[in-house]
Structure 1
Amino acid sequence: MRRIASLTRIAVGVASLALAATACGGTSSDSNSSSNSSESGGGKGLAIAYDVGGKGDQSFNDAAYEGLQKAKKEFGYQTADIEPTDNETDADKEQRLESLAKQGYNPVIGIGFAYGPALEEASKKFPKTTFGIVDSVVEGKNVASLVFAEQESSYLAGVAAAKATKSNTVGFIGGVDVPLIHKFEAGYTQGVKDTKPGVKVLSQYLTQTAAEGGFSSPDKGKAAAEGQIEKGADVLYAAAGLSGQGVIEAASKAGVWAIGVDSDQYKQEALAAYKDKILTSALKDVGGAVYTLSKSVHDGKPLTGTQTFDLKVNGVGLSESNPKMGEIAGLNDAVAKAKAAIIAGDIKVKTS
């Protein structure tokens, strides 16, 4: 069966393409050494600061960690990855990023749009350090904004959902009601409707702000999923970080399909008990973006500006790890056809 998307690498053509704990959060690192080169921008290698949910979310943050591990192995980097804390402020995030830059890490990458204001300020203070941010655009001569066409992979997820549903009702569960997650919903809904117009799409957001736990509360995800299942949904797509684990659990226990997000959740060990009901995952190669920026710095040609990862460069896609996808009539062919049409520009996917 032909692979729909391979996200083990980023295409060459993308845009030419124990650390001391700070006051802001715990860290993991392969070195206890420190650097006094506060503005040298040189030395240790890659550091990432996690979004809410942290490492172990089996999704967004874990994908970033895979990129860090790949860079560490290939370049012999010293690396650091830092967890967020509850109810932290932009000042906390800024302090975290500045601490990493001061200790000589380069590049320093904020994982998630919430780092936007903090990274903008930190990058001004350390002009010789390359900073990266995932899922947001920050202006700066030494900043690379790593953004994704989430709507495209979500469209493919919608195609799969439309082919898999028997009840003609499917669900979308977003972690937080913000523009980034609207892209996931818009692409998914369009993919469903373009494939099977009569299918009803139930949409729900867990919280209005990240501070309320929308990306970090499996219990909230589980409750929302159970509510949609009661309304007849037999395929559920969650773009909710750690909260998505609760959606997957509820879907599995109810015997309906779940669609994962960001990472190939069918392959995640923590979700092994539910894998048979994880139909597919809308992939987002955060790890590839982290690695690509790290490589550019290592090669002495740091990427800056907006770097977009879409279907054309395999920056997003749809997993096909679950062999049961092949048992659903027309599903794989429909997804492959939709992918080709998006790449060719024949399908314009909405972002809101």
Structure 2
Amino acid sequence: MDATTFWSLIDRCRPSGRDRGARRLAQALIDRLSEGPVEDTVAFAEHLSEAMARLGRAPLRHDLEGDDFLYRRAAVVAAGRAEYERILADPARFADSKDDTAQCLLLVPDRAYQQLTGRDWRRGHHYSYEQYHYEAGLPAGPDASDDDLIAAIRQRVAGRGLPPPASAADIAEFEHRVGHPMPALLRRLYLEVGNGGFGIWSCLSLTPVDAWFGDFEDLAEAYRIFSLPADDPWDESVPKGVVPLMDRGCCMWTMVDFRTPEGRIWDWDANDCCTLTSTTLTLADWLKGWLEGWIIPGPYSELRLHPAGCPDAGPAMSPEQYRERKVRICEPGP
């Protein structure tokens, strides 16, 4: 299946009239792809991920966050090649129809593959399409300083209505609780940006505020709960000094290691065979990945440093390798 066939298939399967969430389009595509061969489903998935990724890296004008941006881009693809290419040529058009979504389109490869093989889809795509924003001028590469990051984060969260910054006394009290100093960059975020609410979704507040940014009231409560000894001997307790920072949903947490001055990122993922591992990311890497769109709220599988003997153990990607893989965008197909 080449790009022309991919777009033709979408056109042939698109129903007339309103199709909320692209449910009918998705079902028609699943029915067609489940006729085989499986190579068509794999190729469809690659063309879909490429189209979504190219939209994710285009300077689209919008104020959407998270899944809203993801599903709106899917609606552009569902509308067909002509509309897709019009949006790429004139990104301002993207803001004209923010109410359109096509989340069901993203499920097509998984469902078709399952019907064809009887197995779940367990492969990645050449392109990552879950970027959340593209912003010209955001820091990239090793030359971005902490000042650059703070300025870019302030710009990104300007409309979120974050609580006022925490105080130095609040930080000192939490450092005493943890027994290690807060990494300098994280300290600046709480002192200069806001008392929580920044990040890919929302990092926890340092102290209680009006809004909760996760399942816990603040960092202190999250740290206390995660540091408790595990009831189940197979569960893994979080080491002292590793602090839960952001709830990614689906039993996944981003954590930061106060024992390291750079703030090494740890990953707590109850869906993985090793629930808790460190990663190749520093706090600065993680923040750059959010700003540039190559770190998303989902799994960090390829960045995890699994312990020896773990069934999933293997070479972890460096942040540079991961970024290169996630933001690689090619020219449109014929």
TM-score (norm 1): 0.23
TM-score, length basis structure 2: 0.24
**Relative contact order: is structure 1 or structure 2 higher (C-alpha 8 Å, sep ≥ 6)?**
1
Between Structure 1 and Structure 2, whose CA radius of gyration is higher? 2
Larger proportion of strand: 1
